[in-house]
Structure 1
Amino acid sequence: MTHVTTHVLDAGRGAPAPGVAVVLSDAAGEIVARGTTDADGRTGIGPDVLAPGEYALRFETGAYFAALGQETFYPSATIAFTLDERPHVHVPLLLSPFAYSTYRGS
Structure 2
Amino acid sequence: MKKLFLSLLLSAYCAMAQAQTHQLSSHILDISTGKPAPGVTVKLEKQDEQRKTWSLLDSKVTDENGRIKDFLPYPQAGKGIYRLTFLVSGYFKAQRTESFYPFIEVVFQIRDNAHYHVPITLSPYGYSTYRGN
TM over 0.5: yes
Over alpha carbons, which structure has the higher Rg? 2
Give 1:38's aligned residue.
Answer: 63
Identify, as 1 or 2, the structure richer in helix.
2
Q: 1:76 to 1:45 in 2, by over 3 A?
A: farther
Give 1:77's aligned residue.
Answer: 104
Following superposition, the deviation at residue 65 of structure 1 comes to 0.3
Give the conservation status (yes or no) of the 8 Å contact 2:78–2:113.
no
Which residue, out of 79, 94, 114, partners 1:87?
Answer: 114
RMSD: 1.0
Matches for 1:1-106 after TM superposition, within 5 Å: 1-27=21-47, 28-49=53-74, 50-106=77-133
Following superposition, the deviation at residue 19 of structure 1 comes to 0.5
Give the conservation status (yes or no) of the 8 Å contact 1:33–1:45.
no
Which SS does the other structure have where 2:54 is aligned? coil
Give the whole-Å Cα distance in 2 for the aligned partners of 1:67 and 1:83.
33
The structure whose RCO (Cα within 8 Å, separation 6+) is larger is 1
Identity of aligned residues (%): 38
1:47 partner amino acid: L
Give the conservation status (yes or no) of the 8 Å contact 1:34–1:45.
no
TM normalised by structure 1 equals 0.95
Q: 1:10 to 1:98 in 2, by over 3 A?
A: same
Unaligned runs of 5+ in 2: 1-20, 48-52
Give the conservation status (yes or no) of the 8 Å contact 1:9–1:93.
yes
Give a deviation string over 1:37-59, Cα, whole Å, max 9, x none: 00001002433121201000000
Q: How many residues align?
A: 106
Unaligned runs of 5+ in 1: none
Between 40-49 and 54-63, the greater mean CA deviation after superposition? 40-49
Give the whole-Å Cα distance in 2 for the aligned partners of 1:32 and 1:100.
24
Could you list the structure 1 runs, at least 4 aligned residues long, displaced by more than 4 angstroms after superposition.
none
